[in-house]
Amino acid sequence: MNRPNIVILGAGYGGIMTAVNLQKKMSPEEANITLVNKHDYHYQTTWLHENAAGTLHHDRTRIAIKDVVDFNKINFVQDTVQSIDPKSKTVTLEDGELSYDYLVIGLGFESATFGIEGLKEHAFSIQNINSARLIRDHIEYNFAQYNLEKDERQDLITIIVGGAGFTGIEFVAELANRIPELCQEYDVPKDKVRLINVEAGPTALAGFDPELVEYAMNRLEEKGVEFKLGTMIKKVNEEGIIVEKDEEQEEIKSKNVIWAAGVTGNSIVQESGFETNRGRVPVRNDLRTPDYDDVFVVGDCAVIMNPESERPYPPTAQIAIQMADVVAHNLKQLVSGSEKLEGFEPNIQGTVASLGHTDAIGVVFDDKKLFGRSASIMKKVIDNRYLMKLGGVGLVLKKGKLDMYH
């Protein structure tokens, strides 16, 4: 009997957890399992804002794939996906081609620019380890440059963050903690530095509990963050940004513009002919694509509607990890000849937003609100629990946030 080929594209939360689950559920005699990823590491996307601000070294965020995937059970291919042909069941890579019987797409997100002029060319975005490292170095370079200029150039020490969703707020919070260190290191007067958060919507953290949002904004304003809510970025250029509020336009000069608003699924998925909605696949209940019974989608490339709000669930790490459990189960079923597939029901166990190392806000356990240190500890518990699930106690000790109470 020929063993079926299972190919997993991407080692983000959904992809790597699918691989880890499959290596526990299936023997190499049951199927050939291949994991494809551009890098030889998995990284915690939810920690990238700390790498970008310079408050956590990127090596803490990276996890070597060989540390969590058993290469005796799973074939790892380090390569970049170019395209997928679901009709011929092939995946084209930069350095070759793979054929599959079952495919799991976990290719992650791309930044959504919403058609803002110059955004792609002149703004940074927090997408991966390399982009986070670049943002950190760029901000440090400009702070170092400040005292070398004859004229005091405010644009070098003005940091603009576009978007006040989770990533935007968490990034701004880390920057607010990092700026005093940067000022000390590069002899920059702290009162000259501007940290501006621009959000088109009427509130930060849209859809989150208003009391928690108010707490977050008050804490960040105390640390010097300027909020510009209900303000649209119209254009980004070499000088900075042009914003509009109530039909009034304003130019803000800055050499540090970071875009942290909105993501879309990887463009390869749409270009490969899958049915998509704003770049993401509206998956069936069992997480297969609408048009192919042999293709599953996990993480940012999938969209699942919340029947209560009639809006899509946000593409979070929590949901991607839960999807991986269902996909691994369903693949095991299909390989063993059963058509009884499990449906996916997101189990939202709470949401916590970090406001720096020892501060956070969150809603957990049936709407219990957490503020400050207790929320921060909960955030670290959640992060460590994922590491435990991925690689056991050893990984928690190696990469976890164990300094809970400091």
195 neighbors 159 (Cβ within 8 angstroms): yes
Is the pLDDT assigned to residue 404 strictly greater than 80?
no
Comparing CA positions, the residue from 103, 94, 83 lying closest to residue 9 is 103
Q: How far apart are CA 386 and CA 374, in angstroms?
A: 19
Dihedral angle sign, alpha carbons of residues 42, 47, 51, 55: negative
Q: How confident is the model at residue 137 (pLDDT cuts 50, 70, 90)?
A: very high
Q: So what's the pLDDT on residue 354?
A: 95
Q: 24-46 burial, b for 16+ CB within 10 Å, e for fewer?
A: eebeeebbbbbbbbbeebbbbbb
Least reliable range by pLDDT among 213-222, 231-240, 262-271: 262-271
Query: What does the pLDDT average to over 179-208?
Result: 96
Neighbours of 199 (CB within 10 A): 24
Give, in order, the Cα–Cα distances in Å from 181 to each of 82, 136, 176, 189.
Answer: 42, 13, 10, 11
Query: What does the pLDDT average to over 6-18?
Result: 98
Mean pLDDT (the chain, rounded): 95
Q: How confident is the model at residue 59 (pLDDT cuts 50, 70, 90)?
A: very high
For the whole model, what pTM was predicted? Answer: 0.95
Query: What does the pLDDT average to over 237-259?
Result: 97
Q: How far apart are CA 354 and CA 48, in angstroms?
A: 12
Least reliable range by pLDDT among 102-106, 149-153, 355-359: 149-153
Q: How confident is the model at residue 307 (pLDDT cuts 50, 70, 90)?
A: confident
How remote is the C-alpha of 301 from its chain's centroid? 12
Comparing CA positions, the residue from 285, 301, 296, 294 lying closest to residue 324 is 296
Is the pLDDT assigned to residue 405 strictly greater than 50?
no
Q: Which backbone phi and psi does 114 adopt, to 5 degrees?
A: 55, 25
Give, in order, the Cα–Cα distances in Å from 379 to each of 350, 351, 368.
Answer: 10, 9, 14
Query: What does the pLDDT average to over 388-398?
Result: 94
Is the pLDDT assigned to residue 406 strictly greater than 70?
no
Query: What does the pLDDT average to over 94-101?
Result: 98
Q: How far apart are CA 393 and CA 402, in angstroms?
A: 12
Q: CB neighbours of 135 closer than 8 A, spacing ≥ 6?
A: 52, 124, 126, 258
Is the pLDDT assigned to residue 91 strictly greater than 60?
yes
Amino acid in the structure at residue 57 = H
Give 105 or 308, the one with higher predicted confidence.
105
- Percent of the chain at pLDDT > 70 equals 99
Question: Where in the sequence numbering do the catalytic residues fall?
Answer: 170
Is the pLDDT assigned to residue 368 strictly greater than 50?
yes
How remote is the C-alpha of 385 from its chain's centroid? 18
